[in-house]
Amino acid sequence: MRLLVVRHGQSEADILKVCEGRADFSLTKLGHEQAESTAEYLSKNYEVDRIYASTLKRAMQTAEHISKKTNLQVILEDKLQEFDNGLRAGLEYKLAYEKYPNIPTAMHESHYQQESKLEFRMRAEYVLSKILSENDPTSTIVIVSHGGMIMRLYQAFLKLPVGSNVKLITGDAGIHDWSIEDGQKFINYSNFCPFISN
């Protein structure tokens, strides 16, 4: 099985410099161009069987570009949404962290109506398990999500400890190519952004 994990393109929140998370912003013009380049690359280099996407606008709009290039319907999946950042969502960065400063918190606890770090990781474990189990081992699957969730999907895929502090960067509309062959897991490449090569 091949998993092509894609981050959404640039969103309006990136321009406004606000905490995004569950704030539901659309792609910018550049974001659509990035998504189109990624869709073009995927359609030319892979035989995609299914597309899954987060239900937040920026991910759905990115997935729609891939859908048009591959003639596949997008399967919407709530559990692929970004971290639920609670009361910080949509606030300008400085204001968000002044009003709701970071507080040392146990993994299972949370503040400001956010989900806990443990809930976020378990959501990634659940959705990855679901996608793997409902698709044929020979299939190629596109998963369109968000930077924070993609990091948790990496942790789930590689079976890293729940408290792992590994940081994996994903640029706008960046692609991560993973595969599973004979029970072995491979990271074929990470954070390839086709629009930068154009």
Of these residues, 8, 65, 146, 176, which one is catalytic? 8
Contact between 12 and 28 (Cβ < 8 Å) = yes
How far from each other are the two terminal CA atoms of the chain, in whole angstroms? Answer: 28
Return d(Cα 26, Cα 181) in angstroms, integer: 36
Q: How long a stretch of residues is the chain?
A: 198
What three-state secondary structure class fits 161? coil
DSSP letters spanning 124-160: HHHHHHHHHHTS-TT-EEEEEE-HHHHHHHHHHHTT-
> Which two three-digit tokens encode residue 74?
């997008």
d(CA 175, CA 38): 8
Q: Active site residue: 36, 64, 77, 82, which one?
A: 82
Number of H helices, E strands in the chain: 7, 6
Q: In what order do the strands lie in the sheet with 140-145?
A: 74-76, 50-53, 140-145, 2-7, 175-181, 184-192
Q: Would you call 146 a catalytic residue per the annotation?
A: no
Can 125 be counted among the known catalytic residues? no
Would you say 81 and 55 are in contact if contact means Cβ atoms under 8 Å apart? Answer: yes
Active site residues: 8, 82
